[in-house]
Amino acid sequence: MRDLPPWVPRPAPPQTLPTPVLDATVSPLVTEVDDEYRAVTFYWRGPAKEVRVLANKLTQDAEAAVMERTGDVWHRTYRVRHGWRASYRLSVDGAELTDPLNPKVWQGHSIAETSPPSPWLAAVGEPRHELSRHAIGWRYDPVRPPLGTLVVLDGEHWVDDLPVMLDNLIEAGALPPVTAWLVESGPDRVRRLTCNDEFVDALPHGGPTVIAGQSLGGLTAVYAAHRHPGRFVAAVSQSGSFWWPSGPDPEWLIRELARLRPPPVHLQVGTLEWALAGPTARMREVLGGSGTYREFEGGHDRYCWRNELPDGLITTYARLPP
């Protein structure tokens, strides 16, 4: 049980609003409440006994996940901050499915967002890299001579996005040319990504190397930079699982870093990740001037991470010594 996150009660239910219009032709419908907030309305049309919105963290552990019914139209409107985004599915009488009224689907989930996706994710022109398969995952080689290395954990989830992202960032001069290793976690992910010395010691590196990860990967990215400061010059941790391990002696890495000089780390966490709020705040305090921090509007969601990683990399590389 030490590798399962502790249960933290939801601090407050999601805010709901009256549905502005019963127009079940497009879902979700995003309307402006004021400069800070948006109303996001989900729809379903058809016979059902119950329809729920399963939006990452937004509707978790909340009765407000159940949609209201008017005639044959099911609907539910939530008040969210501008910039919020999430992957979601609908549950119709217990069967989960993508939203048939929403053409935006990513990795088997429908997508709702109140601001455009990151421009760094849009493929422009011909690829400016080679991507090759290796025993540990994939290697991205830019067409320009590399000036360092980037390691991204859970690489199997980044094969589509990271090459495009790096092409754009390097072309724009926002990042130096880097060789990137997309390190696969595989079925042994939990063991590998819980401060495992054997796994961390075998990670690739070369020249100034930045390491990035999400969730348990975010925990391990910081640990790698701590264990091998001569290999990893900085870490990017998105929604890092700094609660690890569960049980009577939690937050081991936070206590470990408090004893020593912490590495440079860029932290990101979602505003709806209430279970990570406390551990992330304590990690942020321990990092002090070695850390930078950003909150994004969303939950523990790979769709959020793909949109936030470019800015995390830009911030991290901008702080490296020339």
Given a cut of 90, is residue 243 above it in pLDDT? Answer: yes
Class of the CATH-defined domain 119-318? alpha beta
Mean of pLDDT values over 275-291: 97
At residue 261, what are phi and psi to the nearest 5 degrees? -75, 120
Q: Is the distance from CB of 260 to CB of 226 less than 8 angstroms?
A: yes
* Residue 311 banded pLDDT, cuts 50, 70, 90: very high
pLDDT, position 1: 59
Nearest to 242 by CA among 283, 211, 214, 273: 283
- Topology of the domain comprising 16-113: Immunoglobulin-like (2.60.40)
| Domain map (residue ranges) of the chain | 16-113, 119-318
Q: How far apart are CA 118 and CA 306, in angstroms?
A: 8
Given a cut of 80, is residue 127 above it in pLDDT? Answer: yes
At residue 220, what are phi and psi to the nearest 5 degrees? -70, -35
Nearest to 114 by CA among 54, 28, 17: 28
Amino acid identity at 303 = Y
At residue 305, what are phi and psi to the nearest 5 degrees? -60, -40
Mean pLDDT of the chain: 97
Q: How far apart are CA 278 and CA 301, in angstroms?
A: 18
Burial of 234 (0-12, 13-18, 19+ CB in 10 A): buried
pLDDT, position 199: 98
pLDDT, position 105: 98
Tell me how far the alpha carbon of residue 100 is from its chain's centroid: 25
Given a cut of 80, is residue 320 above it in pLDDT? Answer: yes
The model's pTM is 0.97
Provide the angle, in degrees to the nearest 10, between the axes of the packed helices 161-171 and 302-318: 30
For the stretch 73-125, pLDDT in tens is 999 999 999 999 999 999 999 999 999 999 999 999 999 999 999 999 999 99
Sign of the C-alpha dihedral, residues 232, 175, 207, 146? positive
Q: Which long-range contacts (CB under 8 A, 24 or more apart) does 60-69 make?
A: 60/10, 60/299, 61/9, 61/10, 62/10, 62/13, 62/14, 63/13, 64/13, 64/14, 64/16, 67/42, 68/19
- Cα 261 to Cα 227, 286, 314: the distances in Å are 11, 9, 23
Q: Is the distance from CB of 59 to CB of 14 less than 8 angstroms?
A: yes
Cis geometry, peptide bond prior to residue 245 (ω within 30 degrees of 0): yes
pLDDT, position 3: 80
Top pLDDT among 121 and 22 is at 121
Q: Is the distance from CB of 90 to CB of 52 less than 8 angstroms?
A: yes
For the stretch 246-270, pLDDT in tens is 988 999 999 999 999 999 999 999 9
Side-chain-facing half-sphere of 120: CA atoms under 13 Å: 24
pLDDT, position 5: 86
Given a cut of 80, is residue 27 above it in pLDDT? Answer: yes
For the stretch 36-60, pLDDT in tens is 999 999 999 999 999 999 999 999 9
Q: Is the distance from CB of 55 to CB of 112 less than 8 angstroms?
A: yes
pLDDT, position 322: 84
pLDDT, position 4: 82
pLDDT, position 99: 98
